[in-house]
């Protein structure tokens, strides 16, 4: 019989997601700085500043949605579903303690 276990180390997808998180963070900072500059009136070379603001908002929305998807993926990897997860180690310890108490409490000659 062969036991198959997951690889130890980050997968290619995990590395890509980490890189994407960093890029999204940088992109958000750059877009917010650009938006602030346009609002301050520093829009040399822009034909339509209001269109640029609209595009920036759209890209920020896309970045925020991507970050939310990354966070959801990380929670799923940790076993968190619907904002909670089971701690199997704690559950195993609790069940073991209860079983021990039941074993100690049973009387001799009764059904085990």
- What are the residue boundaries of the structural domains of the chain, listed by start? 12-81
- Residue 13 has a pLDDT of 64
23-to-16, 26, 67, 68 alpha-carbon distances in Å: 10, 5, 11, 14
Task: Please compute the mean of the pLDDT values over residues 48-58 and round it to a whole number.
Answer: 81
What does residue 21 show for φ and ψ, rounded to 5 degrees? -60, -45
More confident residue, 30 or 1: 30
Task: Decide: pTM greater than 0.75.
Answer: no
Instruction: Decide which of 80 and 4 is more confident.
Output: 80
pLDDT at 40: 84
> 66, 74 in Cβ contact below 8 A?
no
More confident residue, 27 or 109: 27
Looking at residue 85, what is its pLDDT? 64
Q: Which residue has the tokens 């992109």?
A: 27
Question: Looking at residues 9-38, what average pLDDT do you find?
Answer: 77
Q: Would you say residue 7 has pLDDT above 60?
A: no
């Amino acid at each position: 019989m062969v036991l198959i276990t997951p690889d130890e180390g980050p997968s290619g997808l995990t590395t890509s997601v980490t890189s994407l998180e960093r890029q999204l963070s940088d992109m958000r900072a750059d877009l917010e700085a650009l938006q602030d500059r346009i609002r301050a009136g520093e829009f040399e070379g822009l034909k339509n500043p209001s269109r640029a603001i609209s595009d920036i908002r759209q890209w920020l929305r896309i970045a925020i949605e991507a970050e939310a998807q990354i966070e959801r993926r990380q929670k799923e990897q940790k076993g968190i579903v619907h904002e909670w997860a089971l701690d199997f180690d704690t559950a195993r310890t609790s069940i073991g303690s209860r079983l021990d108490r039941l074993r100690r409490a049973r009387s001799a000659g009764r059904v085990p």
